[in-house]
Chains A and B, each alone.
Chain A
């Protein structure tokens, strides 16, 4: 599918809160990709069903993000979460396969590439993320 078709359909967001599940969680992932919405979520907070991908980028908080935030995303019904581990220089992809909440990620290292489940054509090289 040509990129042009998708122009301005999605929203890529840094640090927007997501209202997740029951009303006691409001995580602020580092980057989220949201479903298209004409007002770009100015008036409403994204709901779990609006979220196509959440990404956490971690150096000082790798362990709690992995142990705590990723499972929280899964429990809230977010379909896929990425964790960029800056220390180990790798990308962990959660929720791609297996039952919901499956904690075992697909792990990609610097030389590898992966695509979000929502955008199978969108191949991203780990080396491009890490720079």
Chain B
């Protein structure tokens, strides 16, 4: 899966939004970031040779034109984005449009601040996956099926907390919104902050048809942050795809369950057994 997928809807930004991010300190004022067709990309750190030639060129033009040279020092330590690749699942750098300029990645804190300053004013419309803001609006998984699955899980899984399209905090750069999330019971019902991977028992997504690639982006992130089981319900195909054994490289085991088969939940909920036919309604 790559961002080149036409069905993927990356939140694009405008020039005025980029300026506000710098004014409000979400990006350092001297950040070497370009906005190209609405995509924020990080400029690679220049080589010593490039810096030398840029300086020589600017000085030469300035001298010949009798003009002052302005502009920032290109090697300011805060100017270049740095990310720990071990925290990332998706190789967003493979986007053919922008390669080798990597897409800029926002942390969860920066993403929240974008909401506070009104750039992502309706946070329910967006999710953050590996630092890239995606729009949820293009998906419309069957609401009736989601409601049914929620009712079923609430009924069977007792004191677990079942929620719909709520954010889950997975590491420093991801805040996905699974269609349905089942979390371990907690006194404050996660009012103090979104659940993390270890709080989640099960993440469920409903497939919205051939153009829906959301699960292909979410599953590797779920697995990287150790959500133990993920379901992808395919109502048209009459099946539930189940991902198990989460690892840094995705779910090691994926199986398809069909009519007549049963599914169970992990850990303390292992005695909760659901029929595929019940799930599909």
Contacts and interface: CB of A to CB of B under 8 A. Distances in A.
A binds B: yes
What is the predominant secondary structure among interface residues of chain B facing chain A?
mixed
A6 B13 CA distance: 38
Contacts of A68: 36, 97-98
Contacts of B66: 3-4, 6-10
A3 B64 contact: yes
Contacts of B185: none
Interface size class of A (residues with CB under 8 A): 35 or more
B2 interface: no
Contacts of A60: 44, 47, 100
B65 A10 contact: yes
B12 interface: yes
B35 A24 contact: yes
Interface string A1-37: 0011011111111111101000111111011010000
B32 A15 contact: yes
Contact of A24 (B12, B43, B68, B97): B12
Contacts of B53: 57, 84, 86, 129-131
A14 B69 CA distance: 7
B72 interface: yes
A37 B14 CA distance: 26
Question: Which range holds the interface residue count of chain B?
Answer: 35 or more
Contacts of B50: 30, 57-59, 86
A26 B54 contact: no
A122 B57 CA distance: 13
B36 A27 contact: yes
A25 B36 CA distance: 5
A12 B67 CA distance: 6
Contacts, number: 135
A25 B37 contact: yes
A72 interface: yes
Nearest to B97: A68
Contacts of A84: 53, 57
A40 B68 CA distance: 9
A99 interface: no
B64 A28 contact: no
Contacts of B43: 28
With a 10 A CB-CB cut-off, give which of B50, B52, B72, B74 has the most chain A CB atoms: B50
A113 interface: no
Interface of A: 3-4, 6-17, 19, 23-28, 30-31, 33, 40-41, 55, 57-61, 64, 68-69, 72, 84, 86, 119, 122, 124, 128-131
Given A27-B34, A60-B47, A64-B100, 16 more contacts: A6-B65, A13-B69, A13-B70, A13-B71, A24-B13, A25-B36, A26-B35, A30-B54, A30-B57, A31-B54, A31-B58, A33-B67, A57-B54, A61-B100, A84-B53, A122-B61
